[in-house]
Amino acid sequence: MQHPVLTIARFSLLEAVRGKILWIMAALLLFAVFLAFFIGQTTLTETRETQVALMAGFLRLSSVLVIIFFVVSSISRDFQDKSVELLFSISMPRYQVFLGKFFGFSLLALSAAIIFSTGLVFYSDVSVVLFWALSLWCELTLVALISLIFILSLEHVAMSLVASIGAYALMRFMPAIQSMGDGPFQDSLFNQLMNKMLDLIDLLLPRLDHFVQSSWLVKGSAAEIDVIYFLLEFVLFVCLFVLVGVIDLKRKAI
Amino acid sequence: MTKSFHQIRSSHLPLILLIAVWLCVVIWRDSSMAQKVAVENFPEPPSVTTQVIMQASDVAFVYRFLLPWLQQFDVQSGQYVAYRNLDYTRLTGWLNSLQKMAPESQYPTLMATRIYTKVGDEQRIRQMLDFIYQQYQLNPEKKWRWLAEAAVIARHRLKDLPLALSYAQKLANEPSNVIPYWARDMQLTILEDMGEFEQVKLLVGGLLANKAITDDNEIRFLNLLLERLQKNNN
């Protein structure tokens, strides 16, 4: 008999497949290829570099949005169908439900990374594309995990979407926000307090600015990719977020 | 008869309305395109804070996204805007900001040399040449070819031989081995144009005497130039 975690993961992935999410990803990839071709016709030099950077950036952003929308809508539907109540009523620990959902969404993130990276193989070195895909999978898995925590906690679609997208923006732009706070005229008590708060938030969120970078594909060299850094960051924050999600789910009254 | 007409009218009314509204859209769009739209100028170049934010996430994506936007800026609302109507000070600011994002990229200097010097305004051409020269100073090994083109533009478009000579001399005196002989020799031809034959002879003689040049073709070229100058002198 299959482990309950794997069963839930399989059904989460099946829901994505039947919901034509993979087709949406294929359509996005097709659009990105068209975009690259179009841009290639307008550039004067460095055509490949421009094509690959725009394609990679577009695919990263769109995959993040697809994952956030899917995770939030899927769990929201579970709440509406009373599937969550059903899962919690059977003799299965809640952490297994959480892990099952998380693994399912992580597999969907893997599918997205594989589909999107196939289009980039024609524009950059294969080994670099593989690192890019690995990094995208890590980023999407973290995004899926955060979205899962938000929707399970807030149970409200619009609020969860805004919170997930906001958290993603914070994870991507945190160094820039922090550097703005470190300006020469920012020594007031309020600014110092804000800076401390930003530093605290920074410790609670992964630094996604070290993850997927279009510049890797532009340069076509894997030498500059700090794989150890983003893998370690990924493992640490997956553990942290899973614990947050499990604890939150355990105390939840259904 | 009345009944069937009524049936047609009620069942097709939404479709008829849809076509009517779409025709309104077509007419409105056509009339708005025909209107003379005011020329939009470059926005202010991004501030330091904006640059930090833009570069924080995915600098290559932002850079490659902004390049086509800047390149196509002269095409506005179905009309081509003459470069002389664009603010070149802001343009230089944008080119500088973009170049800072990707110092190794040749795109901003290429745009400055091949696109934005194609303007019938001397002041604007000089602004672009200044930008190219600044970029050359920052990275001579990567940007020498654009300074060579800038020297050609200064010589033939601006007819400013001293400016062309100053650029050519920068190339000739660059210690890097990357710069080819043809680029280094530009100063000789410009000096010749200026009628400074004695200086050319001195330079060529010096180059041949110090044995720094090892390329046979270059030595032959310099000898021929020296012979020609001496014949003309006689």
Tens digit of each residue's pLDDT (9 = 90 or more) over B44-76? 888 777 777 776 678 888 899 899 889 988 887
Nearest by CB to B64, which of A53, A172, A180? A53
Q: Report the chain B residue with the minimal C-alpha distance to residue A175.
A: B56
Reported as a pLDDT band with limits 50, 70 and 90, residue A229 is: confident
pLDDT in tens, A19-46: 899 999 999 999 999 998 998 888 888 8
Q: Count of domains in chain A?
A: 1
Q: What is d(CA A7, CA A87) in angstroms, rounded to the nearest whole number? A: 12
Q: How far apart are CA B153 and CA B136, in angstroms?
A: 15
Mean residue pLDDT across chain A: 88
Q: Does the beta carbon of A45 lie under 8 angstroms from any beta carbon of chain B?
A: yes
Dist CA A251 CA B3 (whole Å): 67
State the best of B49, B55, B61, B149 to mutate against chain A, taking most chain A CBs within 10 Å. Answer: B61
State pLDDT tens for residues B102-146. Answer: 998 999 999 999 999 999 899 999 999 999 999 999 999 999 999
A215 and B60 within 8 Å at the Cβ level: the answer is yes
CB-CB under 8 Å, B72 with A173: no
SS3 content of chain A, % helix, strand, coil (to 5): 85, 0, 15
Q: Which of A125-129, B25-29, B153-157, B214-218 has the lowest mean pLDDT?
A: B214-218
pLDDT tens sequence across B166-211? 999 999 888 888 888 888 888 888 998 888 888 888 888 888 877 7
Chain B touched by A56 (CB under 8 Å): yes
Q: Which residues of B touch A43 (CB under 8 A)?
A: 67-68, 71
Separation of alpha carbons A15 and A105, rounded Å? 10
Q: Which residue of A has its CA nearest to B112?
A: A44
CA distance linking residue B77 with residue B134, whole number of Å: 33
In a domain, B135, yes or no: yes
> What is the residue range of A12's domain?
4-250
Q: Residue B128 is inside which H or E element, if any? A: helix B122-138
Q: How far is A95 from chain B (nearest CA, A)?
A: 33
pLDDT at B35: 64
- Residue A170 with chain B: CB contacts under 8 Å: none
On the CB side of A150, CA atoms within 13 Å amount to: 25
Nearest chain B alpha carbon to A53: B61
From chain B, the residues in CB contact with A56 under 8 A are 60-61
- The model's pLDDT over A131-186, given as tens digits with 9 standing for 90+, comes to 999 999 999 999 999 999 999 999 889 999 999 999 999 888 887 777 776 666 56
The interface predicted TM-score of the complex, written ipTM, equals: 0.79
- Residue B97 in any domain: the answer is yes
Q: Within an 8 Å CB–CB cutoff, is residue A188 touching chain B?
A: no
Query: Which residues in chain A are contacts of B106 at CB distance < 8 A?
Result: 45-46
Nearest to A173 among B56, B63, B105 (CB): B56
**DSSP character at residue B119:** S
Residue B107's domain comprises 43-159
Using the beta-carbon criterion (under 8 Å), do B65 and A57 form an inter-chain contact?
Answer: yes
Distances from the Cα of A159 to the Cαs of A62, A124, A155, A247, in angstroms? 20, 39, 8, 21
pLDDT of residue B128: 95
Which of B52, B57, B110 has its CB closest to that of A44? B110
Residue A164 near chain B (CB below 8 Å) = no
Q: How many domains does chain B have?
A: 1
Bridge partners of residue B76, in order along the sequence: B79
Residue-level pLDDT at B48 = 75
The predicted structure's pLDDT at residue B33: 65
Q: Which residues of A touch B71 (CB under 8 A)?
A: 42-44
The 3-state DSSP class for residue B109 equals: helix
Determine the residue of chain B that is closest to A168 in CA distance: B57
Tell me whether A133 touches chain B (CB under 8 Å): no
Phi, psi of B145 (to 5 degrees): -65, -30
For range A80-105, the mean pLDDT: 86
Hey, is the C-beta of A176 within 8 angstroms of any chain B C-beta? yes
Burial code of B193-216, b = ≥16 C-beta within 10 A, e = fewer? eeebeeebbebbeebeeeeeeeee
Q: For residue B67, which residues of chain A lie inside 8 Å, CB to CB?
A: 43, 50
Q: Tell me whether residues A56 and B71 touch, CB distance under 8 A.
A: no
Cα end-to-end span (Å), chain A:
28
